[in-house]
Amino acid sequence: MPQLNPAPWFMIFMFTWAIFLTILPPKVMAHTFPNEPSPQGMTTPKTAPWNWPWH
Amino acid sequence: MTLSLFDQFSSPSFLGIPMILMALALPWLLIPTPTSRWLSNRVVSLQGWFIARFTNQLFLPLNVGGHKWAPLLASLMMFLLTLNMLGLMPYIFTPTTQLSLNLGLAVPLWLATVLIGMRNQPTHALGHFLPEGTPTTLIPILIIIETISLFIRPLALGVRLTANLTAGHLLIHLISSAVFVLMPMMPAVAILTAVLLLLLTMLEVAVAMIQAYVFILLLSLYLQENV
């Protein structure tokens, strides 16, 4: 199995961590979300049904 | 004959430059970085939704002390998911078939969880070596078994991902060679084999996603024990 050849192992290890630590977290952390997490309210709002005629 | 089937996994090299550097550096062009725009496009919105929901679900069972691992595990999920899924396309090298990469990710992260546990709450961390309610006679053997199972975790983590992806790619290669060879001789059998190949490819898509998820999930479980 060529994966068991240890020659490129260190290079692959270093490069993986280099990519994983430098490129990915900025991409992931750049996502921003508009709402703060809020606890669920005790009462669920009641929506009144409406009877608009759909033409 | 069998050796040539495994040749697809040898770390490719062109003019002395290892191509795995390309395979590791280029996929992130497909994941756009969100800008500071108020409204982003569909791709960025979907990615953000996925990352947020996934991280939320993953960290529900963890104590607050473990939540600082959220960026790391979210990045790792994107990393593994992208590499696994891209590798399913023809002629694209899957870096996660390399044992070096998977062990290189698994061992340091597992070791980090163990060291965090040993440093912050050593009694609690060592308590995992003896489950509650063990009969007294079994205590020595069970401590040995638990120690072995602790040390086998990083190996299992790395080898699981490697083996699953390698086996999948190998099967795809085998069955597609069979279709190709059978086409002139027995077209009906070739068509049936092609249907099998289609089903296998769908399975491999699922496996790619599931194996990435399992890697992260197990790391979060190891963290849960120790944080």
pLDDT in tens, B7-49: 888 888 888 888 899 999 999 999 999 988 888 889 999 999 9
Residue A36 confidence (pLDDT) above 80:
no
Check if the beta carbon of residue B79 is closer than 8 Å to that of residue B85. no
Is residue B3, in this structure, part of any structural domain at all?
Answer: no
Residues 183-212 of B with CB under 8 A from A: none
Is residue B1, in this structure, part of any structural domain at all?
Answer: no
The residue ranking higher by pLDDT, A55 or B52, is B52
Please give the Cα distance from B131 to B139 (Å, whole number): 9
For B181-206, what is the mean pLDDT?
A: 94
Residue B57's domain comprises 13-226
Alpha-carbon distances, residue B216 vs B77, B132, B200 (angstroms):
7, 27, 24
From A35, which residue of chain B is nearest by alpha-carbon distance?
A: B52
Q: Which residues of A touch B (CB under 8 A)?
A: 1-6, 8-9, 11-13, 15-17, 19-20, 23-33
Label the pairing between strands B13-14 and B17-18: antiparallel
Q: What percent of chain B has pLDDT over 90?
A: 78
| pLDDT number for residue A4 | 82
Say which residue the tokens 């086996």 belong to.
Answer: B167
Is residue B79, in this structure, part of any structural domain at all?
Answer: yes
Question: From the CA of B58, how many Å to the nearest CA of chain A?
Answer: 16
> Across the interface, do A33 and B48 touch by the CB < 8 Å criterion?
yes
Is residue B5, in this structure, part of any structural domain at all?
Answer: no
Question: From the CA of B153, how many Å to the nearest CA of chain A?
Answer: 19
This complex has an ipTM of 0.87
Q: What percent of chain A has pLDDT over 90?
A: 38
| pLDDT number for residue B96 | 94
Phi, psi of B209 (to 5 degrees): -70, -45
Question: From the CA of A14, how many Å to the nearest CA of chain B?
Answer: 8
From A30, which residue of chain B is nearest by alpha-carbon distance?
A: B34
> Across the interface, do A31 and B79 touch by the CB < 8 Å criterion?
no
| pLDDT number for residue B3 | 59
Question: From the CA of A37, how many Å to the nearest CA of chain B?
Answer: 11
> Across the interface, do B44 and A19 touch by the CB < 8 Å criterion?
no
Residue B98 confidence (pLDDT) above 80:
yes
- Locate B189 and state its tokens: 């059998």
Segment B103-137, tens digit of pLDDT: 999 999 999 999 999 999 999 999 888 888 888 89
Chain A residues in contact with B160 (beta carbon < 8 A): none
Residue A53 confidence (pLDDT) above 80:
no
Phi, psi of A47 (to 5 degrees): -100, 130
Name B23's Cβ contacts closer than 8 Å, sequence gap at least 6.
Answer: B83, B92, B93, B94, B95
> How many domains, in total, are found in chain B?
1
